[in-house]
Chain A
Amino acid sequence: MSEPARDRWLSIGMSVLLHGSLVALLAIGWWHFRSRPPAPSVPIDATVVDARTLKGVGTASTPAPKPKPAPPAQPPQQVPPPEPQMEGPPPPTPDEMAMREQAAKLEAQHEAEAQQELLARQQAAEAQRKAEAAAAEQAAQARKAEEAKAAAQAKKLAEAKKAAEATKLAEARKKAEAKLAAEKKAAEEKKLAEERQAAADRAARLADLQQSLQEEERAQAARAASGALASWQSQITSRIQNAWIKPPTAQPGILCVLNVSLVPGGSVTGVSIGQCNGDDAVRQSIQTAVYNASPLPPPPNGIPFPRQLIITFKPTT
């Protein structure tokens, strides 16, 4: 192939460039991978800290504090002149001095006299006290002697009295006992007499009562023979029992009394709760029961319709 020399050099140059860049690439890459360290397997986001930069970390010794420099000597201040003193009274004259001396002597004399007087008074008082004390003691002793005498006398008197009283008492007792015995006897006798009397009375009354009882029994027997009263009673009872819807709180132990007002036809006209230990549900239920049982069946012939009925609710189950 014929090509100009220029072209050939261009081709060679580009070839060199190409091969050179490839080689360079290889070299760069090889150098890169060698010099880069492996990535850490545990990612830690941290920076290395110089302990010395941390404030307050104690191990590093702090330098000893330098001694404070001595305060500079100050120049002596000017001392201010002392303040003038206040003026006192003028000194005394010689005459006055003599007068003062005399007065002082007099005073001393007075004082000595006074002292002596005081002393004398004190001694006198002392002597008086002693005399009084002695006198008091004497008096006391005299009193004691007298008292002893009086006590002894009193004792004797008392003893005599006691003896007299004792004998009196004994006599009185004897008398009283005798009296009691007599009274008892009398009372007993009286009682016996009264009892006998009462017994007699009772016997009389008993006889009367028995008579009236017998009469009553005869009358009742007449009624009971037909069974009317009893059956009427049980009629009313079962009527109300069938009408009483017992609430669960109507348990054995409940006791409630109803006063029921009736009119002759047997209709209930009013109900009032007497003694009752049931709750509101029980109270409602018993009133409702009686009204639902109304009108009550008429009584058998011969018995008038009661105006009042007392109904006691006392569940047993």
Chain B
Amino acid sequence: MAPLLRIFLAVLTAACLAPPAARAQLQIQITSGVTNPVPIAVVPFAEAPTDGTDVADVVQHDLVGSGRFTALARDRMPARPTSAADVKFADWKGAGSDYMVVGQVTPAANGQLAVDFNLLNTLTGQSIARQRFLGTAAALRNAAHRVSDVVYRAITGIRGAFATRIAYVAVAGAGAAQQFQLVIADADGYNQHLILQSRFPIMSPAWSPDGQWIAYVSFENHLSAVYVQRVLTGQRTRVSMRAGINGAPAWSPDGHKLVLTLSGDSGHPQIYILDLSTQHLTRITHSPAINTEAVWAPDGRSIYFTSDRAGEPQIYRIGIAPGSSPQRITFTDEYNAGPHVSPDGKLLAMVTRDDGGNYRIAVQNLASGEFKVLTHGRLDQSPSFAPNGATIMYAERPGRGQAGILATISVDGLTGLSLKPTQGEVRDPAWGPFTH
């Protein structure tokens, strides 16, 4: 283009950009925000049923426990509306809640209950989410957790995991009267169901991907054996009782295989894959060390496991395909064990021992290698990711005189909760999958 033409165009552009004197057109750009908890009001639902489940209370407890919400106290609520039509938004603006949940529990057909709720933005006056859950009175807590899931997702963008279940081992008594129990409960610790009881240790429960089966290790024959048990019926099958160690079962993402630790009578513990339909065993590791605690990556193509082939235990990854060689993953601290992969495959949770000899839960970003210690205990163990990857449950052994409890920590390390048993101690938690 001729040089004079270029100058002409440049000048024109400059002229257009110069703000005309008449209009002040303001452009604002927001590049950051805050990560405070979202203020929400969960208004008590109409007609709470007689079994004592307060749906709004369960929802509030779920949301606040996640660390991402603060809830308005009931005595500061300006009113108790139970449907959107009843809400006078002007009254609620002063209360400081950005969102509110209103709802009702009403009888439905076949002796069931209907839980209706509406999530409203108090500032815009709009309804964000509105749904009905039907169920029996016994399942009312589950309906409340479903409400929490919807509210959580609408406001944080993350799928809620409040309506999921956990499995854990409970130990009561001591000496000859000691009892080991395998228990399934809601993720908040309620609705416990005993699925195995024994005088001998039970370890390492692992949920199948569809939530129908649990694999575990039992010493009921004075020797270790791996069982799989159907959760609904209690029907169980022993899948391995070979000489030596039978341990650390974990399900493949397609639910057809188990990865196991087997040692034989005189060998070192090695990782094997057992095909549950063909009973075919494939050996994965071949090193003269302790190789155990294998878990699958969510794409089903590699396995993470603990190995002390380098001296102290560290975490390695190996591909499923034959001929793969293991690759060391952890390099921070001298002791890293008990791996568990997040559902999106991006984070690895583990037990790490720091320089002070404290065993704590840490997460490592598998892409960047960034390593972050999340907990602050002395003897933390057995991390297990929630199926939405937002929280990790683990076993905490507090100081002397205190029994083991379960605890959760958010993945950003900011929010923690404890689940204390009423008696005895609990350990070895396994967080179940989404079931709806």
Contact = CB atoms under 8 A, between A and B. Distances in A.
A106 to B, nearest CB: 102
A281 B154 CA distance: 5
B25 A281 contact: no
Interface string B23-39: 01111111111111110
Contact of A209 (B11, B19, B154): B11
A291 B98 CA distance: 10
A246 B33 contact: yes
Contacts of B38: 245
Contacts of B158: 248-249
Contacts of A289: 30, 33
B356 interface: no
Given A219-B21, A247-B156, A289-B33, A271 B124 contact: yes
Contacts of B124: 271, 287-288, 291
22 contacts: A199-B4, A216-B18, A219-B21, A220-B19, A233-B28, A236-B28, A237-B28, A240-B28, A240-B30, A241-B30, A245-B36, A245-B98, A246-B34, A250-B33, A281-B153, A287-B123, A303-B24, A308-B25, A310-B25, A310-B26, A311-B30, A314-B29
B357 interface: no
Contacts of A216: 18, 21
- Interface majority SS on A: helix, strand, loop or mixed? helix
Interface of A: 195, 198-199, 202, 206, 209, 212-213, 216, 219-220, 229, 233, 236-237, 240-250, 271, 279-282, 284-289, 291-292, 299, 303-304, 306, 308-317
Closest 9 CB pairs of A and B: A249-B157, A281-B157, A246-B33, A244-B33, A291-B123, A311-B28, A316-B31, A312-B29, A313-B30
B123 A247 contact: no
Interface of B: 2, 4, 7-8, 11, 14-15, 18-19, 21, 24-38, 98-99, 121, 123-124, 128, 153-158
A233 B8 contact: no
A281 B36 CA distance: 15
A110 B11 CA distance: 120
A281 B158 CA distance: 9
Contacts of B154: 280-281, 284
Nearest to A244: B33
Contact of B28 (A220, A248, A309, A315): A309
A304 B25 CA distance: 10
B157 A279 contact: yes
A282 B27 contact: no
Which interface residue of A198, A288, A289 has the most chain B CB atoms within 10 A?
A288
Contacts of A310: 25-28
A195 B33 contact: no
A287 B154 CA distance: 14
Contacts of A244: 30, 32-34
A201 to B, nearest CB: 10
A316 B27 contact: no
A290 to B, nearest CB: 9
A249 B28 contact: no
Given A249-B156, A284-B128, A288-B123, A242 B29 contact: no
A168 to B, nearest CB: 43
Contacts of B27: 310, 312
A309 B26 contact: yes
A212 B422 CA distance: 82
A206 B4 CA distance: 11
Contact of B35 (A240, A246, A271, A281): A246
Contact of B11 (A206, A233, A237, A250): A206
Contact of B18 (A213, A279, A288): A213
Given A284-B128, A306-B25, A202 B36 contact: no
Given A219-B21, A288-B121, A299-B24, A317 B156 contact: no
B363 to A, nearest CB: 15
Given A279-B157, A291-B123, A316 B32 contact: yes
Nearest to B25: A306
A315 B2 contact: no
Nearest to B35: A246
B26 to A, nearest CB: 5
A223 to B, nearest CB: 10
A317 B31 CA distance: 8
A155 B76 CA distance: 114
Contacts of A212: 15
A244 B128 CA distance: 18
A288 to B, nearest CB: 5
Contact of A312 (B8, B11, B28, B121): B28
Contacts of B29: 237, 311-312, 314
A317 B35 CA distance: 12
A314 B15 CA distance: 28
Contacts of B8: 202, 206
Nearest to B2: A195
B131 to A, nearest CB: 14
Nearest to A195: B2
A233 B26 contact: yes
B23 to A, nearest CB: 8
